[in-house]
Amino acid sequence: MAVTNGVNGNGHEQTNTVLITGAGGWLGGILAGELLSDPLTPNVRLILCDIVEPKAPKGAKHVVTRKADLCDPKEIDALFNTEFGVPDTIYCFHGIMSRGSEDNFDLGMRVNIDSIRAMLQASRSARPPSGEPIKFVFTSSLAVYGGPLPEVVTVDTIATPEGAYGMGKLSAELLVNEYTRRGFIDGRILRLPTIVVRPGVPSAATSAFISGIIREPLHGVEAICPVGNGFDSPELQLAAWVASPETTIKNFVIAKHIPSSKFLAHTRVVYLPGFTTTVKQELEALEAVAGKDALKLIKFQDDPINRRIVGSWPARFDNSYPCGLGFVADEGGMVPIVRRFKEAVEAGLA
């Protein structure tokens, strides 16, 4: 028997069926678990897919997992024809990360643009039981920005990427906006801060070191810092716009529930709230939480390409618009984030 959640205002069945692409990644996996306890998404049914079959979260009663190559439209179509039917909400998380896109341009084009368009086409052709357009939550990036930027980025700042990853994300954003304008989907585009501290192994993201210089020392292993040649290097003043994983996941859930009418009329783009930190401030927070021995595990190998790409991204934003929509921001800077991660490591959770 199908699991349902009542009837909406139009007399249609509501199923709370959520598809997450890229669900094998750590953010997708955490989000799946978070949705299980979301009171606004009761009896959620999860369709989880990735290039490697993702794991179902603990406690999930209604979940389908799929290994899928989303560059193949047939495999995308199959996600809309599981035993749960058409999803009400899609979290489109899959993609090739920043350095990976720069190093393999053609693969980045196929995954970060072509597969997103195929997902949008499938969403356009389908209608969930609610009769409403599918909510399509797309994760974008600060990499869409580049060139001369104002001191503080606002909703009116024009995106001009300086890398293949940012170009791909911006291209997909335009598609999500257009499909929303035409009523094919109900898009929500989230430009993510750099998320710190990411657990697990380093990713292919150019910004991966921003987590690595915290994560690895707290695990007792060496970390490579590709910025500067020592603790006194002026390059350590490189700034980044960051947010914790916990706050980011909260904002993913919030994005699903924001009424369409609250977004700006001309765009569904929202940069998520964050705060500014420098590489130097990160290392100072690491020392404050874990002591000088942790700093001894930092090894410097300056990488001008890495610095150029990360340095092209803005590091200061006006949080007024996203917070006005209901999104939330971290408080207290890097120290509480580093402390939480240290506690997670000590508990065997990270």
List the catalytic residues. 165
For residue 117, give the nearest of 161, 159, 176 by alpha carbon. 176
- CA-to-CA distance for 288 and 346, rounded, in angstroms? 17
- CA-to-CA distance for 84 and 259, rounded, in angstroms? 24
Do 190 and 252 touch, CB atoms closer than 8 A? yes
Three-class HEC string of the chain: CCCCCCECCCCCECCCEEEEECCCCHHHHHHHHHHHCCCCCCCCEEEEEECCCCCCCCCCCCEEEEECCCCCHHHHHHHCCCCCCCCCEEEECCCCCHHHHHHCHHHHHHHHHHHHHHHHHHHHHCCCCCCCCCEEEEEEEHHHCCCCCCCCECCCCCCCCCCHHHHHHHHHHHHHHHHHHCCCCEEEEEEECEECCCCCCCCCCCCHHHHHHHHHHHCCCCEEECCCCCCCCHHHHCEEEEECHHHHHHHHHHHHHCCHHHCCCCCCEEECCCEEEEHHHHHHHHHHHHCHHHHCCEEECCCHHHHHHHHCCCCCECCHHHHHHCCCCCCCCHHHHHHHHHHHHHCCCC
Query: What phi and psi values does residue 12 have, to the nearest 5 degrees?
Result: -100, 155
